[in-house]
């Protein structure tokens, strides 16, 4: 089983102008692979989710479905804002991989009803193996109730 050893968010601008529609940020992820991963040349999808964290971090719930995985936050009083996500295919051919990537975020977007003085960005990463659990939801359907 692979280990996501480290995730680091790169340099950010000192400030963001409201309405700024694109800021590129870099992310470094370090992955260590188990010897079984290397023997099988296991394939993974690395998902990186960039959040504007509002207070304590929401508890992430991951619905792992290979390259269609999704994440949800659970919070009673407020929610972190998902700023962007990227998915990257990874193959275990070296015991240690240092992956550098970038993502464009709309950091100047202000949501209705929110008041900002700053944004606190954090990156959550998850590795979904090709051989492992797969999950999904059906499309919702609504049915009326007769009285």
Mean pLDDT (the chain) is 84
Instruction: Provide the pLDDT for residue 101.
Output: 95
Q: Identify the residue with better confidence: 80 or 48.
A: 48
Q: Are the C-beta atoms of residues 45 and 87 closer than 8 Å to each other?
A: yes
pLDDT at 65 over 70: yes
**pLDDT computed for residue 18 by the predictor:** 73
The rounded Cα 21 to chain-centroid distance in angstroms is 20
127 vs 56: which has the higher pLDDT = 127
Which pTM does this prediction carry?
0.80
| CB contact set of 55 (below 8 Å; sequence gap of 6+) | 78
Q: Are β-strands 43-52 and 121-129 bridged in parallel, bridged antiparallel, or unpaired?
A: antiparallel
Instruction: Give the confidence band of 97 by pLDDT, cuts at 50, 70, 90.
Output: very high
pLDDT band of residue 16 (cuts 50, 70, 90) is: confident
């Amino acid at each position: 089983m692979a280990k996501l050893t480290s995730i680091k968010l790169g340099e950010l601008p000192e400030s963001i102008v409201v309405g700024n529609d694109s800021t590129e940020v870099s992310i470094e992820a370090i992955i260590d692979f188990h010897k079984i991963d290397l023997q099988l040349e296991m394939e993974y999808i690395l998902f990186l989710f960039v959040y504007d964290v509002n207070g304590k971090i929401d508890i992430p719930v991951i619905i792992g479905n290979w390259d269609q995985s999704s994440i949800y936050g659970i919070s009673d009083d407020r929610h972190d804002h998902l700023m962007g996500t990227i998915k990257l295919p990874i193959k275990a051919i070296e015991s240690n991989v240092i992956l550098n990537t970038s993502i464009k975020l709309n950091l100047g977007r202000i949501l209705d009803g929110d008041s900002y003085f700053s944004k606190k960005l954090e990156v959550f990463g998850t590795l979904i193996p090709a051989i492992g659990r797969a999950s999904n939801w059906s499309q919702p359907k609504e049915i009326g109730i007769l009285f």
